[in-house]
Structures are given as C-alpha cells and as structure tokens.
Amino acid sequence: MSGGAGPDDDRLARIFLGRVVEPGDETAGRWLREHGAEEVARRLREDGPPLPGVTGKRWTGLRARAVRAAPERDLALAREAGLRFVCPGTPEWPAQLDDLGDARPLGLWVRGRPSLRMWALRSVAVVGARACTEYGAHMAAGLGAGLAERGWVVVSGGAYGVDGAAHRGALAAGGATVAVLACGVDRPYPRGHTELITRIARQGLVAGELPPGDHPTPSRFLLRNRVIAALTRGTVVVEAAYRSGALVTARAAQRLGRHTMGVPGPVTSGLSAGVHELLRGEAVLVSDAAEVVELVGAMGELAPDRRGPVLPRDLLDPAAARVLAALPARGTAPADVLARGAGTTQDDVVARLYELRSLGFVERHGDGWKLTRQAVIASRPDRAGC
C-alpha cells in the first residue's frame, strides 16, 4: 500500500483489515471513523503504541493477525473465484448499511452480476429456524415466491431450514434473491447448500464480510445477522425458538428502525415461541407476501407496482433501461444509432453500455453492441411474467 492516498489505497487497507479485525468490531469502527482505514492499517503494521480502546494483550493479538494479512493475495483469490470487494462510499455500496455506525462492515465481498446497491433498495429479509417444520418451510417458500412475484428481492442467510426455503421460493418464481454468508463467499456454507448457493450466485447475489476462504464461527453467524437487518427494508421471522439467531436479526432490525414481522404458528410448538414473543412486542403479524408488501410498501418509491417477478432489468435506472430497450432483438447496433433510439448523447450511451455490460446484459462486437443470450431470454414475455 504505497504511493499517494486514493480509493485503491483505502480499498486495500480495508481488505487488509478484514483479516485483522472481526466483523462488527465497534472499536475498530471508531478507529476507521477517526483516523481512516489507511492510517489504522499502518499503525497495525508498525511496531508502535496501540490505538485507544484496547489492552496491550488485545493489540498484540491484532498485530499477530496483521503480520499474516496479504490484501493483494486476497484480491488474486477473489479474481479467481469471480468475487469483487464493495467499499463504503463507492457506487455499489448500499448506503443503508451506514446506519450500523461504527459496527458497519469494512466492505462486502460480492459474487454475482447485479448491483448490490440497486437490489438492496427493494429487499425484504426472510429468516427463521434451521430445524424448521414442514409448515415453516412451506410458509418461507411461499413468502419467497410471493415477494419475488411482487417485485421484491428476498434476502436470507443461505442456511438450512427457513433460509433455504425462502431462497428456493424466490428462485422458483424467477425472481431475485441474495444470500448473506458468515464465511468467505467463495466457500459455500453449509456444504449441503453448495448447489443452492451456486445457483443464487448465478441468478442473484451472494455477499459477506469475511475474506476469501475464511470460515464461519458461532459469533460470526450472529454478527452476520446485523448486515441482513440493515441491508433490507424489513425482516420477516418464520419459526424461531426463544434462543434463535433469527430473533437477533429481528431485534437488530427494530433497533435500526426497520419493519419487523412474524408469521404465527401453533402455540404448542417451541419453534413458534420466539415469533410469538416478537408479536407481543413491536412486530407485525403477517400471513403472506401481500401483507408483507402492504407494510414495507408504505415506504413509497421503495414499493414498486409490478405484476411479475423482479428481474435484473427491472432494477436498472431509467436511463440505462432506455439504452437497453434501444438495442435490437437480433444483431448489433453502433452507439450513435442507440443514442438516437434512447434519446440521449452518444457519450451517455457508451457509459450506459459499459454499465450494462458489467451487469451481463450486453456485449461488444467490433464497433457494435448486442444483447447477451441471458438478456434475450429474460426479455421474453413467458419469462418476464407479462
């Protein structure tokens, strides 16, 4: 990390710190706020006095981790796995994560083509018990499908039980879903969900704070839940015992001022006890996706009126959508022709085309541009829910 300060230096410093401090470390978050990522990284690399707020023993432990950190190696591993690192303040960063204050992630590793920021704007978390009942799995899958059909992105943790059912429901509806993991996003966990998480990465997004190859721990699962709560506009809990990570997510959502909802179950079931406790407080009872959207949709522009499942092209900003619409169904078209079709300048079209290329919608052929096969398939009426 040499040379003048800049965005790349901040990015490398944050990747470095991801190997040194644990997710949600508010002391480290305060250091970043007061000194900046590069200065904190420098202090950890050098043999100087500790930063305030930690004991000498704790500082020694952090310095031992710092010796082994190699951000350039992490970036190389990420490139091989098709990952990118999204930093606070960059165009893809979801600003609602800033509500976490000093517990805000250093950054997020992301796998998948769509923009995390755009998808997070219209997202709902569906979480619950890993060892759920058949009823819980049925309700989670129905919520996942129903939310996707109404134009909402379904966010969950990729775990067994309710999480997996919610993801599968959204995928089955042809909609969008995001898995937020408590480990490196290049190593799916649990192992039994490797196929599911791979499919999510192909059709949606997989995100997490931990660097490539890192492993989950019980505390990391709980800390991951704050990201799910902050990322989304509301959290729905489907089956949860009194001691449940899903309740941690819901309570984090409440602290952040997000909507919290619960699906009721049999009073005789221990897996309903945590949900019912939430409902006795500030959470709202919901029984289907329409009721979730009725609540979360009160946020105005964040409640789009769509009939079919949300598709990546639905989440484009209007200017990019006009350029995409100007592309012919077959063959290529040069930028000047597309500019006339989209009603904008050629420079603007070129910028939009590269944005669309990064999202997998278009590809360049010589001096022309054409739709990718993925974009052509997604635009068919039978696939778009028209």
Mean per-residue pLDDT, 21-27 = 96
Q: Is the model's pLDDT at 97 over the cut of 80? A: yes
Q: Is the model's pLDDT at 78 over the cut of 90? A: yes
Report yes or no on whether pTM surpasses 0.85. Answer: no
Q: How far apart are CA 226 and CA 248, in angstroms?
A: 8
Q: What is the pLDDT of residue 374?
A: 67
Q: What is the pLDDT of residue 308?
A: 55
Q: Is the model's pLDDT at 85 over the cut of 50? A: yes
Q: Is the model's pLDDT at 207 over the cut of 90? A: yes
Q: How far apart are CA 179 and CA 156, in angstroms?
A: 5
CA 60 to chain centre: 33
* pLDDT band, residue 155 (cuts 50/70/90): very high
Residues recorded for the chain: 386
Provide the CATH number for the domain formed by 316-384 in this structure: 1.10.10.10
Q: What is the pLDDT of residue 177?
A: 96
Other beta carbons within 10 angstroms of residue 386's beta carbon come to 9
Q: Is the model's pLDDT at 7 over the cut of 80? A: no
The highest-level CATH class for domain 95-302 is alpha beta
Which among 204, 197, 222 is positioned nearest to 123, based on CA atoms?
204
Mean per-residue pLDDT, 237-256 = 95
* pLDDT band, residue 312 (cuts 50/70/90): low
Q: Where are the alpha helices (DSSP H) in the chain?
A: 7-18, 26-35, 37-45, 56-68, 71-81, 116-120, 134-149, 162-172, 194-203, 218-231, 245-255, 270-279, 289-296, 318-326, 335-342, 346-358, 373-378, 381-384
* pLDDT band, residue 386 (cuts 50/70/90): very low
Q: Is the model's pLDDT at 381 over the cut of 80? A: no
Q: Domain segments of the chain: what residues?
A: 7-69, 95-302, 316-384
pLDDT digits (tens, 9 = 90+) for 358-377: 677 888 888 899 998 766 65
* pLDDT band, residue 315 (cuts 50/70/90): confident
Mean per-residue pLDDT, 301-315 = 54
pLDDT digits (tens, 9 = 90+) for 99-139: 999 999 999 999 999 999 999 999 999 999 999 999 999 99
Instruction: Classify strands 108-111 and 205-208 as parallel, antiparallel or unpaired.
Output: antiparallel
* pLDDT band, residue 297 (cuts 50/70/90): confident
- Mean predicted lDDT score pLDDT of the chain: 89
**What does DSSP assign to residue 211?**
P
Percent of the chain at pLDDT exceeding 90: 74
Task: Give 218-261 as a DSSP string.
Answer: HHHHHHHHHHHHHHSSEEEEES--SS-HHHHHHHHHHHTT-EEE
* pLDDT band, residue 5 (cuts 50/70/90): low
Tokens found for residue 322: 């006009």
Q: Is the model's pLDDT at 307 over the cut of 70? A: no
